[in-house]
Structures are given as C-alpha cells and as structure tokens.
Amino acid sequence: MADHQYSLAELAELLSVKYVGDAELVISGLATLANAGAGQLSFLANPKYKKALATTRAEAVIVAADMEGVGPANRLISDNPYLTYAKASQLFAASSLPQTGIHPSAVISPSASIDPSAYIGANVTIAEHAVIGAATVINAGCVIGNNTVLGEACLLHANVSLYHDVSLGNRVIVHSNTVIGSDGFGFAPSPDRDQGGWVKIAQLGGVVVGDDVEIGAGCTIDRGALDDTRIGDRVILDNQIQIAHNVELGVNTAIAGCVAIAGSTKVGKNCTIAGGAAITGHLTIADSVHITAFTLVTKSIAKAGTYSSGTPMQENRIWRRNAVRFSQLDEIAKRLSDLENKVD
Amino acid sequence: MADHQYSLAELAELLSVKYVGDAELVISGLATLANAGAGQLSFLANPKYKKALATTRAEAVIVAADMEGVGPANRLISDNPYLTYAKASQLFAASSLPQTGIHPSAVISPSASIDPSAYIGANVTIAEHAVIGAATVINAGCVIGNNTVLGEACLLHANVSLYHDVSLGNRVIVHSNTVIGSDGFGFAPSPDRDQGGWVKIAQLGGVVVGDDVEIGAGCTIDRGALDDTRIGDRVILDNQIQIAHNVELGVNTAIAGCVAIAGSTKVGKNCTIAGGAAITGHLTIADSVHITAFTLVTKSIAKAGTYSSGTPMQENRIWRRNAVRFSQLDEIAKRLSDLENKVD
Amino acid sequence: MADHQYSLAELAELLSVKYVGDAELVISGLATLANAGAGQLSFLANPKYKKALATTRAEAVIVAADMEGVGPANRLISDNPYLTYAKASQLFAASSLPQTGIHPSAVISPSASIDPSAYIGANVTIAEHAVIGAATVINAGCVIGNNTVLGEACLLHANVSLYHDVSLGNRVIVHSNTVIGSDGFGFAPSPDRDQGGWVKIAQLGGVVVGDDVEIGAGCTIDRGALDDTRIGDRVILDNQIQIAHNVELGVNTAIAGCVAIAGSTKVGKNCTIAGGAAITGHLTIADSVHITAFTLVTKSIAKAGTYSSGTPMQENRIWRRNAVRFSQLDEIAKRLSDLENKVD
C-alpha cells in the first residue's frame, strides 16, 4: 500500500467530501480503527464502534458530521462513511499498471479477436471465434471456449474456465478457478435403467452475464438447456456458488458464499441471499427478497421480505433431546388436541 | 445450432419414432414451447404444460399420441417425449468435429501412452506412465498424474486435475476445474497436540470411475486411504460435489449439486440425492433410496424410499418464534406429559 | 506400493515400537484387515473390530498389547495403533523422488526468487517478486501472484491459484484447484441502487498461512479487507471449504469438507468443525469447540464443548408431518400454556 500517497485535501477532492484538519497531512494507507497508525486513514461506519474512534491512532478518519469532537482531528466528513471508505479503498489498491499485449506462452486461435488494449497472460488458451474486448485482462491459466465474448474492462483471475458461447458484459470480474458455461445437469432416465442409466440432454443454451458483475472464486454457472442462463447487471456473487441451468438472477442481487440455486429458478432484483442457503428448481423469487443463512427455499416467494428455515444451535446434549422431540412433533400436536378436547 | 438441419422424416428415423405432418419440413433447432419459432422443434414432456402446446409457434413438436389435435400439425409421436427430446438434443449439439493429435504446447511424459485417435489440448500436462484411450479428448489446462488411465471416448473439459493412480472407464465426461484423486482427509491426532498437531495418513488407495459416468464442474473426489474410492457405471454427478475417501457409489445413482458424502460411506444403485444434502461417514445406503434437498443423513438406510430432514421456510418473524420453541421442545413435551397425567 | 519393502524389525525401528514374531518377515504394503494378504501389514485401531483381527489374512498387524493371542503372530505392538498406522502409511507412500529445477514450460518472472532445491512444474506461472523456498514443489498449472511467499518444503498440487501477497509457512500442502487470496466479498451499497448497484471495497489485506497446514482441494480462502486472513499452524482443512476475509483459525483446528466461515469470525485452537457446517460472520468461537455436521453457528461460543443444530432424518412421509408442525410450534406452545392455565 506504500505506493499510494495522498494529502488529506487531495483525498477529500477525490472522494467528493469535505475535510477538517491539516490539508497537507500525507496519508499512505487505510487501516481499521484498532490497527491504524502513523500516516493511515481509518473510518467509522457503524456508530456502535464509536469507542474505537476515541482511542484510534489513525491520523485521519472518515466519519459522519455528528461524530464531531471524538477521535482524530483530521477527518473526512461523509454522509455515508462506509461508501466513502469503499471509494477510498480503491485509491489504495495494489497498483495493477495497465498491461496490454499477449504473453508469448498463450495459445490463441487465429480466428479469435483480441482488442489491442487487452492483456492475455501466460498459458492462457483462447479458442475459435472468441472475442476479447478493450482493456480486458485475462490472467494466467484461463481457458476461453469457442465463440465466447468478453466485453470491455473485464478481469479474469487465474485458472478461470469459460466454455463456448458464454457472453460477459463490460467490467465483469471473475475470480480464480470459477467455471462458466458447464453443462446443466439434464438427463432423461433410460426406460431400461439397468441397461441404460441416463440419456444426456445436450445443453444447447449459453450463459449471458450482464455489466458490472463480480463472480467469486470456485463458482460454477451452468449453461442453459435450450434458453440461456442469465446473470443480471450489477449482480455480485461470493465464492463457491452454484448456479444451475436456466437460472435468472435480477439486477443488483447479492449472493453470499456456498449458495446453490437449482435449475430454471428466477430470482428478482435487489435480493440478498445469505451464505449456505439453497433454492430448489423452477421457482420464482420476487424482488427485494432476503433469505437468511442456511435457509432452504422450496416454494416460490411472491412478496418482498425476509425468509428463513432451520433450527437454532444449542449445546449438543440439549439439542439432541429437542431433535428427538422434533421427530415426534406430529404425535405431540395430536396429544395436545386430544387433551384440549378432554379438558373441554 | 444453425449448423444442423434435418427434415421431419429424417428426425423421425434418427429418433426411432413416427411422424405426422410434412415429411420435408426442415428443422434447424430445438427450443422451448414458449420460445420456439420458425424452423424449430419443441416438445411436451409434462401434460400439465398442455396449454403452451396450443399456443407455441414451434413448427414441430415431440408429443405423446394422446395429445392429438392440440398444437402444431407437424409432430413426432413418442411414448416418452422427454427421452425423445434428450436424444434429439444430441443431434443439435454444437458440432465438436473429432479432433485428434497433441497440441504442441502440451507437456507429455515420454513414458505416457496416448492413443493416436485421442486429442490433447493446449497447455495440458500428462505425467509418467499415464494412458489415454482411443478418441478421448483432454481440453486445455488439464493435468494428468502418474499412472492414471483414461479409457476410450472420455471427455475432460478445461482445467481438470487428475492425480496419480486414478482410473476412468470409457465414455466418462468430467467438467472443468474438477479434481479426482486428491488426498482423503485422514490424520491421526498427535498425542501431544500442542507440539504435534496431526500426523498425516498417506492416502495409498486410488479412485476407480466406471463407464458412462458424468462428473460436473468444481467437484472433488478423494483417493482412498488403503482401498480405492469407487464410482459405479452410469453414475451422474452435478457440480460442486464432494466425495470423500473410500466412498462407493452404486450404478445409475444420480447426485445433484453441492452434495457431500463423507468417508467410507456406501451408496446403493439407482439412488437419487437432491441438492445440498450430506451423508456422514461409514454408512450404508440401500438401493433406490431418494434423499430430498438439504437433508443430513446420519444413519444407514436399509430400505428403499424417500428420506428427509430440515424445517420449512417461513417469513423470518414467524420462523424466529418457532425456532425459539424448537429449543424448548423437550421441555414442552414434558409439560404435555405432566398435564396429561394431571388430567387423567 | 510395491516399491517399498521393509522387514518387520526394520518397521519396528522406523516406527519406534516393539515387534513380536519373525524379524525377517518382508512387508511390502499396507491394507485393511478385511483386504490384506501376503506381504501386507494391517492395523486394529478400534477394539470393536477385534473380530476382523481374528480372521485377517494380513501377515502382520499393528495392535495394542492387550490384543495378545488374537490374529497374526507377527505384530507391531503400539500404545496408539492408529498413530503408528499413520506413521507407517508414510513409509509406503508413492515415492515422489525429490525433483528439483524449473520445467522449461514454466513462466517465471525475472524478479521472482526460486530456491535451487525447489521444483517448478510444467505450465506454472510465477509473478513478480514471488519467493519460493527450499525443497518446495509446485505442480503443473499453478499460478503464483506478485509478492507471494512460500516457505520450505511446501507442496502445491496441480492448478492451485495463489493471488498476490499471500504467505505460506513451511511444510504447507495445498490440493488441486484451491484458491488462496481471492477478494473478500466486500461491497458498499450504492445510494442509488437502480443506478449504481454496489461499490467494490478493494481488499487490501493478504492471507497468512502458518506452518504444517494442509488445505484440501477446491477450497477458497479470501484475502483480508484491511488486515490479513490468518490460518494458524497445524490447521487441517478438507475439501471445498470457504474461508471469508479476515477469518482467523487457531492452531490445530480441523475442518471437514464443505464448511463455510463468514467474514471476520475467529475460531479458537483445537476446534473441530464437521462437514457442511457454517459459521456466520463477526463471531468468536472459543478453543476446543466441536461443531457437529451441518450445524449453523449464528452466535459466538464462549465455552469449550459440542454444539449442534438441525433436525433428524426420517422417512419423508413422517418428516413432512413433523415439519408442518414445526411451522405451528409457537402456536402449539401457546395452546399448551393456555391448557395448563385452564387445568390449574
């Protein structure tokens, strides 16, 4: 982070906020309130951590106006300190100097079209008729299939696999070892199971990813059976997410790690799905639905709101007794009804 | 899909079904009833979508005989329209012209044996004494370990990692970024934990995958500790499935995305395991067992049937109250018993 | 395994245990009691399998002293047969002759520093200022980012992706297709969601992995937002584990497959987390906590012990009734209270 230095006044201008204190103060890094020190900027996004503001050794802080009088004298005043921190973080990100060109070890089909401002890293493979847009960076070990199209300013980290006929919009980030365009899980049971097993249904659709999407590491996004699998603009996906064939994700939807969405399910816009949740197939989830961690969704959701399933964690010896009772629950309910009748 | 054109009569012959309508009608693609148009074939597998049959713009449809009079006049009549659609989909799949030969960027051990009809893609690495069978295709970025054997007509998509001493049968498909043969999770606790931690148990077994198996993207299949991990013929695995050491999967078993099966568990034949389910270690699951989504199996299952665990999704504010009651369930049951005694 | 041969007396010496029987007996492999045969050594770790000891065809066994008189006459006597088996397994592991040097197809930045005793495999990419320690082995297809440092005697299996500024200690094993250092899932909601979606928070921290750590296949370990993500010494991770940004794992902690740990959670030392469990963010888990399979942890745990959530598996038709009752549980509890009042 030492590569980046800004004066407090420069930061205020770059971040479109006001500053208070020493305009010339040199800031060379970002840190948490607890760990910040000389030359570092920190931030208070949640007022409940106000105490840390009073004791931080940060030289400057991003705070709301109502935090006056607490903590460092040098400050950037923001209506939305978390958003200002997000923007500031980008100013201190490891400088990835714009690289262009094709590494000599990359294997590029003569029919592929690579914008001269793109960068293709070592040991990358790009197949026939693929198109790579301006300023797009493809890191080492990625494999791009036939007819796959990447827009402008995309970033593929190492060892990403894109199958054929996948389309990424502009400014799409894909993290390492993610797969886009693998076959959906489609098979017809063979009439004679012992002889035939399963007859594979060729997956003839593609995957269409919108603009400004970020996809984490180790995700798998299957191609459609006939129509395309679709990821809307500004969707953000964490790591190890499984998106089955013909799923559609609405714009702005955010999905945390290890979520699985089964085939043909449509998720609305502005949804959040917390870690480890799963949604079964052929469902429709409305806009602005929030699913809590580890929930299994087995029915369509027509109304915005927060939805959950599961049971609370307890000490094992207590949980075990309750879990046994769960398996008697219908009987317990019937005994209660009987007793109610008796008492009446 | 425009590469493929068949007349209705040709399709009927290729699919071993009868046709009704214009024998010469040219079909150049497959589509859903809702989205099909000129030159496209669709299908009705589930009678509950009969309405869509009446309004589809498909030029021809695959239907059962009892759908007479509804929808397009051009039709392929099948006892099992879904199976006929599966077979038809293969006729319209992207033509992957049979490639043979070894890409010059591939790194192949001199002791490896590659059938002349196999295709080895760019930046593939094949280690000592590996054997690659006839007509097998290994796409870019795959790594094949020592002594690993692939049968005939296998297809490895990009960036698959096979460790040493792994064996794939014939016609096995493996999707991108899947790992087969990684070490099982075997460690002996060191007697002095603070000094020693864990003593690794070398995983000396291999992995044996049968014929006609398909393995999705981002899966991990560990090698056995002493004996082999075994995947039976015609098993189909979706994405992000974890198969621990010494698991055995019976023939025809189908496993949906994100399922985890712990060490030494044996799953019977013709089982289906729905998405996100998990099975703990050292269990035996009978043939024809069906596990519903997100179920945790902690006991062996001796009898064919359908098994489940978990709780239903509800609005969070309602669920929360029920979840709290779950943690009091043993007490609730005891209060009910007390009350029953009192009333009696 | 046929590469390795030891006499019974040699094994006893190498494993620091006593032997009984034929000192010259040649042992050429390890096998389970059920499958062992001529020239093979087996072991009895759990006295409940004593019957198998009586009938095994193993030529020698590792057993506790109190097993006298049962099974093969040739034996290694150990206070801890499982630990002795673990050590023995390493003697029979596939001989990976120490390789050194850099494969000519590897792409190494001139500013990277590779110890002459390290081995860099085919199609590996190593970026600027990376440091690779003595006797470390990096297998085919791995990608190592800028400034990333690997200690001594590490082993990276094929197609591992390490981002920039990741640090591995000594003797760290990483299995195939695992990703370390991907961006944490950090975004600030844009004030105008329909216009802006999410503002990415640059992830400025790194990942620090201690000594003697093993990380399974298909794992994802994110870099920290500001501080580092930290994996303690002697931690062992199974496959497909997701570790979010700024998580800290204490020494000796063992985590089974498909576990997910959300951002900034701190897990103590000597913990075990069973398969498929998940821990939400910003929690603190004490030392020596054990989490059972498929448990969701949503609160900090201050006390050593075993913790669980979830419901037991049942036949689907029975489970379904109980699950419906779960969704009425608060009402059932209230009806019980009412009835108690009435009866009183």
pLDDT tens, residue by residue, A93-149: 976 666 889 999 999 999 999 999 999 999 999 999 999 999 999 999 999 999 999
**A110/B13 Cα distance (integer angstroms):** 39
Helix (H) / strand (E) containing A8? helix A8-15
Q: Is A286 on the interface with B (CB under 8 A)?
A: no
User: If you count residue pairs, one on A and one on B, with CB atoms under 8 Å apart, how many are there?
Assistant: 245
Q: Is B343 on the interface with A (CB under 8 A)?
A: yes
Q: Is B32 on the interface with A (CB under 8 A)?
A: yes
Question: Cβ–Cβ of B314/A309 closer than 8 Å?
Answer: yes
Could you tell me which CATH class the domain B101-307 is placed in?
Answer: mainly beta
Instruction: Please list every residue in chain C whose beta carbon sits closer than 8 Å to the beta carbon of residue B302.
Output: none
**A294/A17 Cα distance (integer angstroms):** 39
Mean pLDDT of chain C: 95
Q: What is the largest CA-CA distance in chain B?
A: 87
How close is the nearest chain B Cα to the Cα of A341, in Å? 11
Question: Cβ–Cβ of A83/C188 closer than 8 Å?
Answer: yes
Question: Cβ–Cβ of B227/C80 closer than 8 Å?
Answer: no
Question: Cβ–Cβ of B240/A226 closer than 8 Å?
Answer: no
Phi first, then psi: give them for residue A295, nearest 5 degrees: -90, 140
Query: Do B101-307 and B6-91 fall under one CATH topology?
Result: no
A 10 A CB-CB count for B46 gives 10
Residue A164 annotated to the active site? no
| Cβ atoms B202, C89 nearer than 8 A | yes
How close is the nearest chain C Cα to the Cα of B68, in Å? 37
C280 by Cβ neighbours in 10 Å (0-12 / 13-18 / 19+) ranks as buried
Of B35, B82, B234, the CB nearest to A197: B234
pLDDT digits (tens, 9 = 90+) for C49-96: 899 999 999 999 999 999 888 999 999 999 999 999 999 999 999 766
Looking at chain A, how many residues does it have? Answer: 344
> Nearest-CA residue of chain C relative to B303?
C315
Instruction: Please list every residue in chain B whose beta carbon sits closer than 8 Å to the beta carbon of residue C251.
Output: 194, 197
Residue from C258, C328, C331 to probe the interface with B (highest B Cβ count within 10 Å):
C258
**A262/A175 Cα distance (integer angstroms):** 22
* 3 state SS of B48: helix
How close is the nearest chain C Cα to the Cα of B277, in Å? 9
Place of tokens 């296998």: B154
Categorise residue B179: left if φ over 0, alpha if ψ from -120 to 50, beta otherwise: beta
Instruction: Please list every residue in chain C whose beta carbon sits closer than 8 Å to the beta carbon of residue A320.
Output: 308
Fold assignment, A6-91: 3.40.1390
Instruction: Please list every residue in chain C whose beta carbon sits closer than 8 Å to the beta carbon of residue A93.
Output: 202, 204
A 10 A CB-CB count for C249 gives 28
Domain ranges of chain B: 6-91, 101-307, 315-344
Write the DSSP symbol of residue C249.
E
Chain-centre distance for alpha carbon A51: 31
Helix (H) / strand (E) containing A284? strand A284-285
> Nearest-CA residue of chain C relative to A84?
C188
Chain-centre distance for alpha carbon B87: 18
Paired tokens of B252: 């025809």
- Which residues, at least 6 apart from C160, have a Cβ–Cβ distance to it below 8 Å? C138, C139, C142, C143, C174, C175, C176, C177, C178, C179, C180
- Give residue C331's pLDDT band: very low, low, confident or very high (50, 70, 90): very high
| Cβ atoms A223, A206 nearer than 8 A | yes
**C98/C79 Cα distance (integer angstroms):** 33
| Cβ atoms A200, B214 nearer than 8 A | yes
- Give residue A192's pLDDT band: very low, low, confident or very high (50, 70, 90): confident
How close is the nearest chain A Cα to the Cα of B321, in Å? 11
ipTM for the whole predicted complex goes beyond 0.90:
yes
Is pTM beyond 0.80? Reply is yes
**A166/A162 Cα distance (integer angstroms):** 7
Give the β-pairing of B198-200 and B187-189: antiparallel
What amino acid occupies position A237?
L
Looking at chain B, how many residues does it have? Answer: 344
| Cβ atoms C278, A293 nearer than 8 A | yes
What pLDDT is stored for residue A287 in this prediction? 97
**A82/B207 Cα distance (integer angstroms):** 49
pLDDT, one tens digit for every residue, chain B (344 residues): 347 899 999 999 999 999 999 999 999 999 999 999 999 999 999 988 899 999 999 999 999 999 888 999 999 999 999 999 999 999 999 766 668 899 999 999 999 999 999 999 999 999 999 999 999 999 999 999 999 999 999 999 999 999 999 999 999 999 999 999 999 999 999 887 666 689 999 999 999 999 999 999 999 999 999 999 999 999 999 999 999 999 999 999 999 999 999 999 999 999 999 999 999 999 999 999 999 999 999 999 999 999 999 999 999 999 999 999 999 999 999 999 999 999 98
Of C199, C319, C325, the CB nearest to A86: C199
**A91/A75 Cα distance (integer angstroms):** 17
Where is average pLDDT lowest: A42-56, A140-154, C163-177?
Answer: A42-56
Helix (H) / strand (E) containing A324? helix A316-326
**C298/C306 Cα distance (integer angstroms):** 15
